[in-house]
């Protein structure tokens, strides 16, 4: 089994290689793919140094599977070329997510939508992934009516340039390429991606539209505010969710504790709740601060944290690949 990782030298690409290795994914040949400036470089995988190749070379190799994390423009241009040689593509960019014929998949939620005919599969946005993993088991029981979500998103969500800006600012270095419109150290920026005509940012609308598609509720009432914070790894979300049906708070806890991919950390007496430091290098979605909204009927407050490079990107993609393998769809 040949597996190509497109964008292998980026933050998410490196994490994908790490997760593939950790999970002992049964590949026989790894094809690390990157832009021209990285060609000929070597990356380390499973104790071996492997040379980075071009997209053209990777297509010629006719891999079984390609995992893309090189941006939407690359995915739009190249995913179909890989699919045409019989390669299954799992794409981590926004390129294909809202295409009606492309499946948008979080394995714990909707892997069963996948078939042998799906050659391009979209990986959702990192902030969407952790939210639907936490909310789907509750949706199945109580039926979600409305979601209000505010995010606290790490600079790693912007890639190496985001990390570099925070690091440089913290060190007092002012000579660097800025990726944010304002300082991020000792600051919060209530803008992720560009603003749209409706006043929302692109990131906020991604969360709204992707959640509707994954949960298959096209008219779901949902609103989002996404914020970049000076944290180097791990996204956090404050979620207020209203249900059609009444719930018992203890039953809510039981459902979450038994939900796949979820780990509950919720003990106010001991000051235990999820934090980005808890989520680092873990694949779980951590849930805490579970409490009833006393101002609104059938409404719940949750605090949800996850490693955005792992479950929010690399791990989710590898889990999709594992599902395809298990169901003999590869």
SS3 11: helix
Q: Is 235 a catalytic residue?
A: yes
Residue 153, φ and ψ in degrees, nearest 5: -105, 135
Q: Is 126 a catalytic residue?
A: yes
Cβ within 8 Å of residue 122, ≥6 positions away: 91, 95, 96, 97, 99, 102, 103, 104, 105
Structure-block tokens of residue 319 = 């889990």
Of the CA atoms within 13 Å of residue 58, those in its CB half-sphere come to 31
- Catalytic residue, chosen from 29, 87, 126, 139, is 126
8 Å CB contact between 221 and 299: no
262-264 and 144-153 as β-strands: parallel, antiparallel, unpaired?
Answer: unpaired
Residue 90, φ and ψ in degrees, nearest 5: -110, 115
Query: Which one-letter DSSP state was computed for residue 284?
Result: P
- Catalytic residue, chosen from 101, 175, 235, 326, is 235
DSSP characters for 231-258? Answer: -SS-EEEEEEEEESS---HHHHHHHHHH
Q: Which residues are tagged catalytic?
A: 126, 235
């Amino acid at each position: 089994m040949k597996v190509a990782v497109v964008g292998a030298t980026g933050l998410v690409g490196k994490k994908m290689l790490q997760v593939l290795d950790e999970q002992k994914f049964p590949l026989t040949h790894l094809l690390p793919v990157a832009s021209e400036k990285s060609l000929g470089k070597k990356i380390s995988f499973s104790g071996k140094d492997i040379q980075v190749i071009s997209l053209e070379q990777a297509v010629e190799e006719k891999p079984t599977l390609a995992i893309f994390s090189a941006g939407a423009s690359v995915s739009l241009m190249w995913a179909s070329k890989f699919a045409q040689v019989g390669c299954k593509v799992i794409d981590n960019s926004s390129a294909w997510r809202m295409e009606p014929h492309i499946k948008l998949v979080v394995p714990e939620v909707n892997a069963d939508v996948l078939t042998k005919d799906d050659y391009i599969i979209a990986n959702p946005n990192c902030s969407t992934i952790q939210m639907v993993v936490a909310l789907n088991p509750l949706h199945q029981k109580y039926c979600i009516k409305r979601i209000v979500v505010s995010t606290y998103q790490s600079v790693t969500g912007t890639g190496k340039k985001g990390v570099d800006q925070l690091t440089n600012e913290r060190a007092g270095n002012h000579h660097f390429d800025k990726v944010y419109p304002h300082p991020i150290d000792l600051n919060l920026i209530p803008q992720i991606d560009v603003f749209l005509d409706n006043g929302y940012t692109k990131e906020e609308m991604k969360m709204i539209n992707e959640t509707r598609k994954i949960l298959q509720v096209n008219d779901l009432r949902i609103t989002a505010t996404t914020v970049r914070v000076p944290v180097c790894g791990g996204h956090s979300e404050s979620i207020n969710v209203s249900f059609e049906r009444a719930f018992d708070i203890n039953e809510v806890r039981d459902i979450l504790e038994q939900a796949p991919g979820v780990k509950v950390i919720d003990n106010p007496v001991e000051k235990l709740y999820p934090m980005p430091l808890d989520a680092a290098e873990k694949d779980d979605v951590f849930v805490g601060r579970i409490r009833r909204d006393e101002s609104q009927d059938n409404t719940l407050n949750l605090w949800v944290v996850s490693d955005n490079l792992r479950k929010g990107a690399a791990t989710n993609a590898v889990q999709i690949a594992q599902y395809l393998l298990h169901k003999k769809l590869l």
